[in-house]
Amino acid sequence: MFERFTKDAREVVRGAVASCQEAGGGTVGPEHLLLALLDREASRGSFALAALGLPVENRQPVREALDEARRRAGLSRADTDALAGLGIDVTAIVSRIEEAHGVGAMSGDRPDRGRRSGRPAFGRDAKSVLETSLRIALAHRDRYIGDEHLLLALTARPGPPAEVLADHGVTHTSLTRVLYSEGEARAG
């Protein structure tokens, strides 16, 4: 599968491992793939983000929203508000767990296998994003997997990355529109 990844898609995979490591996490999750995607410039994925109102210089709010979602254990704001009504402070719980078990411990993702080396391992959810990107590329008859397919895959599954992107106008539908309806005419 990896031999079909473009240079940009490989950079995203590498960047995801790096951003996980930087944050002190042990498992690379979909959120790390998104963080790496947000760092891309002049790629198909970056073009699509820019077309939907997220040029390179405007992506910081997305990073912050992602960080906030992590501190809410991936629950939505409405969920955490409902829990606050019961006297449960989700942010406090997450910060205690992270103190003891490392940043991102509450992400719900697990390492694919019992790897315990120093480098973060790809989690099941992140792997499933890579697999979905392959399926999406095939469905569009693209012969390669680019970072735009990774972005499409992230918006195709529930979870904080898709929610945060949707809050900024980036959904599977809007991405497909900017990537394919205009591109096909040009490629024609």
Name the residue nearer to other proteins (CB basis): 90 or 170. Answer: 90
Nearer to other proteins, 49 or 90 (CB): 90
Contacting other proteins (CB under 8 A), which of 93, 156, 166, 178?
93
- Joined tokens for residue 127: 């792997």
Minimal distance, residue 66 CB to other proteins, in Å: 17
Measured from the CB atom, the residue of 30 and 45 that comes closer to other proteins is 30
Over 118-153, what HEC string results?
A: CCCEEEHHHHHHHHHHHHHHHHCCCCCECHHHHHHH
Residue 75 C-beta: closest distance to other proteins, Å: 5
Range 45-74, binding other proteins (CB under 8 A): 73-74
Nearer to other proteins, 146 or 160 (CB): 160
Q: At residue 69, what are phi and psi to the nearest 5 degrees?
A: -60, -40
Alpha-carbon distances of 38 from 15, 48, 138, rounded to whole Å: 10, 11, 24
Residue 177's φ and ψ, nearest 5 degrees, are: -60, -50
Regarding 90 and contact with other proteins (CB under 8 A), the answer is yes
Determine if 92 is a binding residue for other proteins (CB under 8 A). no
Asked if 77 is part of the footprint of other proteins (rule: CB under 8 A), the reply reads no
Nearest CB to other proteins, comparing residues 94 and 170 = 94
Q: Report if residue 10 touches other proteins, rule: CB under 8 A.
A: no
Say if residues 26 and 120 touch (Cβ distance below 8 Å): yes
- Listed in sequence order, the residues at least 6 apart from 158 whose beta carbon sits closer than 8 Å to its beta carbon are none
User: For residue 92, what are its two tokens?
Assistant: 């406090």
Least Å from the CB of residue 107 to other proteins: 8
Out of 50, 52, 65, 83, the residue judged to bind other proteins by CB under 8 A? 83
Tell me the two tokens of residue 173.
């539908």
**How many helices (H) and strands (E) would you count in the chain?**
11, 2
Interface residues toward other proteins, by CB under 8 A: 73-75, 78-80, 82-83, 85-86, 88, 90, 93, 97, 100-101, 105-106, 108, 110-111, 113-114
